[in-house]
Amino acid sequence: MLQTKDIAVVILNWNGKALIEQFLPSIIKYSDDAIIYVADNASTDDSVAFISERFPTVKIIENTENGGYAKGYNEALKNIEEPLLCLLNSDIEVTKNWLQPIVTEFNTDTKTAIIQPKILDYKNKSYFEYAGAAGGFIDKYGYPYCRGRIFDTIEEDKSQYNDTKTIFWASGACFFIRNSVFMDLGGFDESYFAHMEEIDFCWRAFNNNYQTRYVGTSTIYHVGGATLSNINPKKTYLNFRNSLFTLLKNTDSNVLFKVWFRMLLDGVAAIRFLFQLKPAFLLAIFKAHMSFYYNLPRLLKQRKQLSKRPNYFETKSIVWSYFIKKNKTF
C-alpha cells in the first residue's frame, strides 16, 4: 500500500525566490513525511543558495537550462525514484492533510494514474481558481474547460464539487501521477515549453487507457499567473499554438475538419481582440498559427505514433454552449 512517504513533491523554480519564501513553509509543514524537491530551471537569482540555507531538508535538483515547464520537469524527474510524483507550482499554498486523500485514491483503484485536488483562488479563497478548478474536460474541438470554471466564468466554492470523479485532464498547477506512468508515456512534450502540456499528457494517458481522477477532499490555493500573466500576449500565443498541437496529435477521427474549424474559431477570437483594441493579442494568434504550420510535419509524425480513442469529449462545443446557449457553469 502506498503511503505519503512514497510521494515526491517537486516544485519547479525559475527566479522565484519570493514565491519560495512565501509558499514553501506551508508545503513543508503540511506534507507529512513526503520528500520535497525543488527543481531549479537555471535561475539567475539566488534561489538555490536561499533554499539551501533556509530549508535544508528540501532536496535541490539543478537543471542546466530554463526549458520551461515541460523540459524542466522531464529533466528533473529522471532523478526521482519515489513511486508517486506531485508536480507543484511554486505559487501554491497547501492545506492540512492535503496528501492523505490523494494516497487513498491511488490505493483504491490501480487504474488511476493521475489525480488533481480541488484548486481554489489564493487571492479569493471562496472561489475556484482558473487553472484547473475542480477538474478539466475538453470539447470536440480541443477547447479545455473545468468544473467550476468555463472560459472566464468562475464559480464560488459551495462544496458542490467535494466529490471524487473521473475527469479528462488534471491541472499542471498540482499534478499527481504515478512515476511509472510518467516514464511510460515519455513525459511532457518539450516543444510546448509551457501551457497545455498537461492536457496533451492527459489526452495521451486517456488514449493509453489510463485514468485521471479529481479528489475534492484535498484542497490547495493557487495564485495563478505568477510566472506568466494572463495579460501577456506570450501566454495567448502559447495557449493557442499548443491547443492546436494537442488537437492534431491526439484526436481520433475527422482531424482535418476539427483543426480547420478550431482555426476558424481562433480567427473569430482574433477579430474580437481587434475590436477590443488589443493588436498584440491578435498578432499572438497569427504567430501561433504560423508556428503550427511550421511544426506540422513533426506533429503529423507524432500523430502516427500515438494511440487514439474515441469519446474523449462530453460537450461537443463548449463555445456554442457558453456563448450562444449561455450555459455559464458545468
- CATH no., domain 4-222: 3.90.550.10
Q: What pTM, to 2 d.p., does this model score?
A: 0.96
Q: What is the pLDDT of residue 258?
A: 97
Residue 15: per-residue pLDDT: 96
Give the pLDDT confidence score for residue 206 in this predicted structure: 98
Domain boundaries, the chain: 4-222, 233-324
Q: Can you give the pLDDT at residue 145?
A: 97
According to the model, what pLDDT value does residue 229 have? 54
- pLDDT given for residue 228 in this prediction: 55
**Do the Cβ atoms of 170 and 200 come closer than 8 Å?**
no
Write out residues in the chain with pLDDT < 70, as ranges: 225-230
The predicted pLDDT at position 9 comes to 98
Sheet holding 153-154, edge to edge: 136-138, 144-146, 149-150, 153-154
pLDDT in tens, 215-269: 999 999 999 865 555 678 999 999 999 999 999 999 999 999 999 999 999 999 9
Q: List the grid coordinates of 111.
A: 487504474
Residue 226 has what pLDDT? 52
